[in-house]
Amino acid sequence: MTFEQGRNDVEITDSLLERIVTRNQDLPESAKRDLIISLITLKYTQSNSVCYAVDGQAIGVGAGQQSRVHCTRLAGSKADTWQLRQCDKVLSLPFRPDLGRPDRDNVIDGYINGNEEDVCEEGRWQKYFTRQPDRLTEEEKKEYLASISGVSLGSDAFFPFSDNIERAHRSGVTYIAEPGGSIRDDLVIDACNDYGMVMAFTGLRLFHH
C-alpha cells in the first residue's frame, strides 16, 4: 500500500473570498489583497499555520505548531512586534550613528520584547544609544496595539475554537479567511460577529507536511 500526495497547484485568487459568513460583509479591495497574500504564504509554510498581513505584506507567520491557537499566538506576537516598530517611542530611539542596520533591528526587537538583554540597562545602553532611552512599558504597548485595526488573517485549516478569534482581535485583526468545516463554525462566526470582523470561508485547506 502506498500513499501519494498530489502537487498543490491551486491558484490563490479573490474568488476564494466570495463566501462571507459574518454579519459584516464589507471586504474592501485592500483587505482582499492582504488575505490573498496571507493565503499564498500559507500555501508554502509548514502546517499548522496562520499568517497576519497588512498593507500588502505578511507581518507575522506561525507555522509548524501543534495546535491552531499556538499558531495564532506565535504569529500574533510577531505581528505585534512589527506594529510596535512604528510607534513614536521606537522611531525616536537615539541610536549611535556607527550602529549598523542589522544591529539596530536586533536592538529594536530587544527594546520591544525584552529578549536576551535589557538594552536600556546602565552599562549596556551605551553600546547602542547616544543617551539612555526610556523603556517601552507594557501599558504603552497595550495602548498602542489597542489602536490597531484593519489587519488580515489567513489560516490553512479551520479554526476549531473561538479562542483564535479572541487572540487575533488583540492584534487588530478585522478580516479573516479560513476553510471552514469545523463542528464549531457557529461559535467561531459568533466571536467574529461580536468584534465586527469579516470572515470568509474559502473551502480550501492548504495543509503542507
pTM of the predicted protein model:
0.92
Q: CATH class for domain 18-77+148-201?
A: alpha beta
In this structure, are residues 109 and 117 in contact, taking their beta carbons and an 8 Å threshold? no
Length of the chain: 209
pLDDT digits (tens, 9 = 90+) for 87-98: 999 999 999 999
What is the domain partition of the chain in residue ranges?
A: 18-77+148-201, 88-135
In this structure, are residues 58 and 41 in contact, taking their beta carbons and an 8 Å threshold? yes
pLDDT digits (tens, 9 = 90+) for 117-170: 899 999 999 999 999 999 999 999 999 999 999 999 999 999 999 999 999 999
Cα distance between residue 174 and residue 149, in whole Å: 6
Give yes or no for residue 208 having a pLDDT over 80. Answer: no
Give yes or no for residue 209 having a pLDDT over 70. Answer: no
